Chains A and B, each alone.
Chain A
């Protein structure tokens, strides 16, 4: 068959979200690919120049909608760097609980979307069933199911509700057994292994040079993690180590990326359980919102010419906010907000990864990089 360009268009079951992957195909083998992004570009950086610091948190929730908390916390850490704000110890622990629960929910959404990519609908419904548990917990913290607007500059909006710790421990223990169910239907299914092993090779050095970070590089055998390399929050007081996978000689394949994320789900669950035990002031006490134990004082205006930036370990890679303060002329609004989306850099690399494989491998490889188009198009 002559080579032909297939446009896997904006509306396509393989694309989790709206983007087009133009694939040049020779028979069944992929010869060349070209991603085309920008279908839900909504100019968040331009809008943020007309909003103050608390209003921008809601926009950052809606950047990557599968992991809203990690993005709003990334923004708040950058804003605290700009406004030179101290955060009380208890607020750091509550933030860690919120971020790690959101990381589990985000990885569950990824596994739920990855199973139909490789052909099995049961995996999706099971993972979404567990994600509902995590969303219930986050709904107690933030108030709504998906976009929580939970962190504030200097702390958190609300303390843990009464009884939250007990419910959280029960659900996480149940979740730790449910992961065995996923591994039963995925790891022990020969067809899943045949579809994902040896597919979508990517070496560590090549990835980091291409700007790909997070679970995708840890799957390639090096335990680089922003949480220990550029330390923030209270990860040093918890007993955890980055989830690393032992790849093959030719680099990490889809199966490694799947293993890394399942391992990270387990670790996040254990971190939340440990965080609840070590919470200063105990996880049963409840402070009123605005109490200095959970919300420090924070100025509303940035000094002239002051800038602030912060790297954050998002569930898909290393996300980052760079803010240029506007001084008196801009009032409460920042002068420029720049958002580093890990997937905006990973998708072109994943598209290059597909060359040489079959058409049926495109969803397997693309899905294993966990694309989230909301943050890509900003």
Chain B
């Protein structure tokens, strides 16, 4: 286990051990000291991990809005912290802090006035104050727009909970819990640092994949129960799409496990640290496959059929509003965050700094930072797909999943097994430096060759690169002739 200055688990264990001995140890149940300490550790670590994930999730949402804004040549949300104490266009809520009991309001009023003077937009001239109405963004340059997602999230708390009259009430109300619970449960098995994880069971990857693929069931329940034709279609599409992409996902993860030699997530990362080469350079095809399959698993734009804006209004969550929809919206982003973290752990060497052993003081940096940086870097690809690509039709998604991704993932698995058995176990238990270089260069060359699929002659003659002259490739059209 690489040592890390941020030894959160160590601190928590010693603290809970001390606490258990100080309390239970003195009483007649002293026998249970160890179990109480263990329970305390697991509880605190679970809360700490959940807190870290939920807070950094805001970073993800903020990145999505700002990146989409940049791709679309606009600014995106700019609501800033200052809008908390500055009213709207000079209209404020009056001296609301006087209604607080026990005179607690006085300091709050004082702070409010001070903040307004320092970073507010009150100017002695009324006209200047009205024009310089910086209630939405302004001097507080710290991440403008960061709190917009917080505002969106909290707004759902105050929304009325409406249940459609003829919907299946019990399933309608339980389906969101199924989605949210399983999505949050994934994060128990995703370590954020060598000593910063909630659970390190022996088969953590296996359990993680099982929990990760329960959510589509909840999506189908939600779609079916809200008694709306659009949501029914959305639910069925989601069920079909996710069964088509579950198998390539599991086979790709299996290839990573095969090459790393263990089902435990932390050992996979340790393997990449010790063997000196990240898996992305050994299995570039696996990395690409994992990215594409994860985009389909979390139903983002190229594979956006279940909540297709254009024809299914809002897809399977059309009938949900208020807090249930807010949580499901957050759950979708949590699943994307889990996907980015998994990609970072499987292929980008988890918490291992890029040049861990060469640069002298790099190991002083807490390893959690590298995990987050790699995950956020991967999230850029998700947003890039969303900005650049169009929505693929359902039957094309399924065809792509079954006919292209599944065979490719089997090829990838064979490659992983071959690499592990012949190269890693055959030689001295260390990757010969030539192997990753060769694999990566061949992978890149193949990718560039395959990506250039424009047919210059067809483009020049303004005909179709995809010859539609004879076959009716995409349009079934049989009903009409």
Same complex: yes
The one of A117, A194, A362 that contacts B474, using a Cβ cutoff of 8 Å: A194
* Mask of A1-22 contacts with B, CB within 8 angstroms, 1/0: 0001010100011100000000
User: Known: A193-B465, A248-B464, A356-B480. Contact between A362 and B390, CB under 8 A?
Assistant: no
Residues of B near A118 (CB, < 8 A) are 310, 390-391
Stretch at the interface among B110-118, B152-160, B392-400: B392-400
| B474-A119 in contact (CB<8A) | no
The one of A31, A122, A195, A355 that contacts B392, using a Cβ cutoff of 8 Å: A195
- For B237, the closest partner residue in chain A by CB is A28
Q: Does residue A201 face the partner (Cβ distance < 8 Å to B)? A: yes
The CA of A200 and the CA of B476, in the complex, are separated in Å by 10
| B464-A255 in contact (CB<8A) | yes
| B480-A355 in contact (CB<8A) | yes
The count of A-to-B residue pairs whose CB atoms sit within 8 angstroms is 143
The one of B74, B468, B474 that contacts A125, using a Cβ cutoff of 8 Å: B74
The CA of A193 and the CA of B395, in the complex, are separated in Å by 15
The CA of A129 and the CA of B480, in the complex, are separated in Å by 39
| B310-A120 in contact (CB<8A) | no
- For A186, the closest partner residue in chain B by CB is B390
Q: Does residue B95 face the partner (Cβ distance < 8 Å to A)? A: no
| A360-B311 in contact (CB<8A) | yes
Residues of A near B396 (CB, < 8 A) are 194
Q: How many residues of chain A have a CB within 8 Å of chain B?
A: 52
The one of A122, A200, A249, A362 that contacts B71, using a Cβ cutoff of 8 Å: A122
The CA of A265 and the CA of B396, in the complex, are separated in Å by 31
Q: Does residue A357 face the partner (Cβ distance < 8 Å to B)? A: yes
**Interface size of B as a range:** 35 or more
| B474-A126 in contact (CB<8A) | no
| B476-A119 in contact (CB<8A) | no
User: Known: A119-B304, A126-B73, A191-B390. Contact between A198 and B470, CB under 8 A?
Assistant: no
The CA of A108 and the CA of B229, in the complex, are separated in Å by 33
- For B302, the closest partner residue in chain A by CB is A191
The one of B309, B459, B465, B468 that contacts A253, using a Cβ cutoff of 8 Å: B468
Q: Does residue A377 face the partner (Cβ distance < 8 Å to B)? A: no
* Mask of A157-201 contacts with B, CB within 8 angstroms, 1/0: 000000000000000000000000000010111111111011111
The one of A120, A190, A197, A200 that contacts B473, using a Cβ cutoff of 8 Å: A197
Q: Does residue A246 face the partner (Cβ distance < 8 Å to B)? A: yes
| B313-A13 in contact (CB<8A) | yes
The CA of A355 and the CA of B476, in the complex, are separated in Å by 10
Q: Does residue B257 face the partner (Cβ distance < 8 Å to A)? A: no
Taking the nearest CB of chain B, how far is it from the CB of A133, in angstroms?
13
Q: Does residue B477 face the partner (Cβ distance < 8 Å to A)? A: yes
The CA of A13 and the CA of B313, in the complex, are separated in Å by 6
- Contacts A115-B390, A195-B390, A201-B472 known; list 8 others, CB within 8 Å: A12-B313, A28-B395, A125-B72, A195-B393, A198-B466, A358-B393, A359-B312, A361-B475
In the assembled complex, 9 residue pairs joining A and B whose CB atoms fall closer than 8 Å, in A order, are A118-B310, A119-B301, A126-B73, A194-B474, A195-B390, A195-B392, A197-B466, A201-B477, A363-B310
Binding site for B on A (CB under 8 A): 4, 6, 8, 12-14, 28-29, 31, 115-122, 125-126, 129, 185, 187-195, 197-201, 245-246, 248-250, 253, 255, 259, 355-363
